[in-house]
């Protein structure tokens, strides 16, 4: 009986201890399970973050950007397509249907550096209109004064006569300021008109289509020089337009003034185009003389390459959206994959796509819902932002952060910046490759041992990697027997136009003027 009581007492003492131990074990198991579950949930996110710090390692992001990549064999195929389109444009039997028009410019002579004269040059190729007074002093020396006038949107999309009246008013204002208005000298004008034209003579050209945001009525199929000269005469200005060229021809001419090996001109700016020196026996559409030199500069208008769907195999959904929302849907397809007017918009559309896929700006979706910010508006990501973002080196991303804040993204993370920079690099690299393929066709076709390419335009000038990316691709595509050089042209649209005007007149227009000593580099 005593034993039983002791046993009961012992059982009563042990029971609470057992309960405490049980509760402790249970609590430990629950906490441990929670910690383990948290770790398992967090692990993919941590892994994903590591991938984002190297966006090219993130499969989902790369799936989106893969559509921008162009393989080497595709570049070679693009070169073959472009040369076929060039031949179609040069042949009288296929010229009318050709998308790459290959217009003869009637510019046959290349400057030697000995030209002397004082001429006016005008440059219209976008939202700015430049007027220049250029003093050619021989020995490859040029001095100039200039002024830039803005072209309002209402003028760009209004009546054609209103456009040329506006240009003549700008010219009048400039000549008045420079004290050359109403003198006994009729100043020759070289007019850089950077839109597709069918040239009928050096001072006669019909506009075939507007580009770069212009859509003035009553100008297409009309003689641009005649329309402009009429406006000049109405204003009583002592000047005559003796040559109309585009910016690519001006770029070639200005570069050739210092480097006689120059045979190609290229513009990479708001738009893109190229010209090159072609032998007359290959120009079936030539209607001029066959005197020496038996060559002529061809204005390719290569921005229209692909308008016949030949480039659809490399176009992306972003290219298609940019095209549909443009002022000229279905036209200038090549230009829309390269030039500054569209590159920023392609980047913006990709950013929005990744945002919608929850691959960018993670955890901040509620913050970025303000549709008034530039990110959500067409044209809100400028092409200059692409250049700015790509100048960032290292891990600070100070430029990229500033750009993202400008378009409405506050406090972007390291990963956000890395992804946006990766997008910009892929878009600009594709543009450089396409430009390289086009240039390689021209250099191989010219076939000289040494060829210099004169280049101008804001995209080429200010993008930190475009030149390098383009040359690296050209090293692979240009024939090994040819040495090529790419040179930044010095104000081709101004100086080049003046050189053409001077050569066109074939006489000295030198007029002593001590007050024109400003040199613009």
Q: Would the pLDDT of 354 be above 70?
A: yes
Residues ≥6 apart with Cβ < 8 Å to 64: 350, 353, 354, 357, 359
pTM: 0.79
Structure confidence by residue, pLDDT tens digits, 420-458: 999 999 999 999 999 999 999 999 999 999 999 999 989
Annotation marks residue 456 as catalytic: no
What is the rounded average pLDDT for all residues in the chain?
86
Going by the DSSP 8-state scheme, the letter that residue 217 receives in this structure is B
Say which of 168, 194, 198, 489 is annotated catalytic. 194
Structure confidence by residue, pLDDT tens digits, 27-38: 554 545 544 444
Q: Which of 228-231's residues contact partners 24+ apart within 8 Å by CB, and which partners?
A: 228/164, 228/167, 228/168, 228/191, 230/164, 231/161, 231/164, 231/165, 231/167, 231/168
CB 500 within 8 A of CB 245: yes
Domains defined for the chain, CATH in brackets: 56-103+248-491 (3.40.367.20), 106-245 (3.30.420.40)
CB 368 within 8 A of CB 361: yes
| Closest listed residue to residue 508, CA positions, set 16, 11, 115 | 115
- Nearest 10 degrees: CA dihedral of 488, 393, 424, 471? 40
Say which of 130, 310, 401, 425 is annotated catalytic. 130
**2: confidence class by pLDDT, cuts 50, 70, 90:** very low
Residue 94 CA to chain centroid, in angstroms?
A: 29
- In a 3-state reduction of DSSP, which class is residue 514? coil
Euclidean distance between CA atoms 361 and 272, whole angstroms? 33
Annotation marks residue 247 as catalytic: yes
Euclidean distance between CA atoms 206 and 200, whole angstroms? 8
- Neighbour tally for 280: CB within 10 Å: 17
- Neighbour tally for 207: CB within 10 Å: 20
- Which residue has tokens 């750009």? 403
Beta bridge partners of 118: 135
Say which of 247, 319, 392, 456 is annotated catalytic. 247
Q: Spell out the alpha helix ranges (H) of 95-192.
A: 153-156, 160-177
Euclidean distance between CA atoms 308 and 304, whole angstroms? 9
Average pLDDT over residues 100-107: 94
């Amino acid at each position: 009986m005593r034993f039983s009581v002791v046993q009961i007492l012992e059982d009563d003492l042990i029971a609470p201890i057992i309960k405490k131990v049980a509760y402790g074990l249970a609590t430990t198991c629950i906490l441990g399970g929670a910690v383990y579950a948290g770790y398992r949930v967090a692990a993919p996110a941590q892994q994903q973050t590591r991938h984002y710090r190297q966006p090219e390692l993130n499969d989902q992001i790369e799936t989106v950007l893969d559509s921008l990549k162009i393989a080497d064999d595709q570049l070679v195929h693009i070169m073959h397509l472009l040369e076929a389109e060039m031949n179609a444009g040069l042949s009288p039997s296929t010229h009318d249907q050709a998308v790459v028009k290959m217009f003869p410019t009637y510019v046959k002579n290349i400057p030697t550096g000995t030209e002397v004269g004082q001429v006016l040059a005008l440059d219209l190729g976008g939202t700015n209109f430049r007027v220049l007074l250029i003093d050619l002093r021989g020995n490859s020396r040029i001095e100039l004064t200039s002024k830039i006038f803005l072209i309002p949107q209402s003028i760009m999309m209004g009546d054609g006569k209103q456009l040329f009246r506006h240009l003549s008013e700008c010219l009048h204002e400039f000549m008045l300021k420079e004290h050359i208005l109403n003198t006994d000298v009729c100043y020759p004008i070289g007019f850089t008109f950077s839109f597709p034209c069918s040239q009928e003579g050096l001072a006669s050209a019909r506009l075939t289509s507007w580009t770069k945001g212009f859509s003035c009525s009553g100008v297409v199929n009309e003689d641009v020089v005649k329309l402009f000269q009429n406006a000049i005469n109405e204003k009583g200005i002592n000047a005559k337009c003796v040559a109309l060229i585009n910016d690519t021809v001006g770029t070639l001419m200005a570069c050739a003034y210092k480097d006689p090996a120059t045979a190609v001109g290229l513009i990479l700016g708001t738009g893109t185009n190229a010209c090159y020196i072609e032998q007359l026996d290959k120009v079936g559409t030539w209607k001029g003389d066959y005197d020496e030199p038996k060559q002529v500069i061809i204005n390719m208008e290569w921005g229209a390459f692909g308008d016949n769907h030949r480039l659809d195999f490399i176009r992306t959904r972003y290219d298609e959206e940019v095209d549909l929302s443009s002022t000229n849907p279905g036209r200038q397809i090549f230009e829309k994959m390269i030039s500054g007017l569209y590159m920023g918009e392609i980047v913006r559309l990709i950013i929005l796509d990744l945002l919608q896929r929850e691959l960018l700006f993670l955890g901040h979706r509620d913050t970025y819902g303000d549709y008034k910010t530039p990110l959500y508006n067409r044209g809100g990501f400028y092409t200059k932002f692409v250049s700015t973002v790509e100048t960032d080196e290292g891990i600070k991303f100070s430029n990229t952060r500033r750009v993202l804040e400008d378009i409405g993204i506050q406090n972007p993370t390291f990963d956000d910046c890395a992804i946006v920079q990766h997008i910009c690099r892929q878009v600009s690299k594709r543009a450089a490759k396409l430009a390289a393929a086009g240039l390689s066709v021209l250099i191989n076709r010219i076939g000289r041992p040494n060829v210099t390419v004169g280049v101008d335009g804001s995209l080429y000038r200010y993008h930190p990697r475009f030149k390098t990316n383009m040359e690296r691709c050209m090293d692979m595509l240009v024939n090994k027997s040819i040495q090529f050089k790419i040179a930044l042209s010095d104000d081709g649209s101004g100086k080049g136009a003046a050189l053409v005007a001077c050569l066109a007149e074939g006489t000295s227009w030198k007029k002593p003027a001590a007050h024109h000593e400003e040199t613009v580099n």
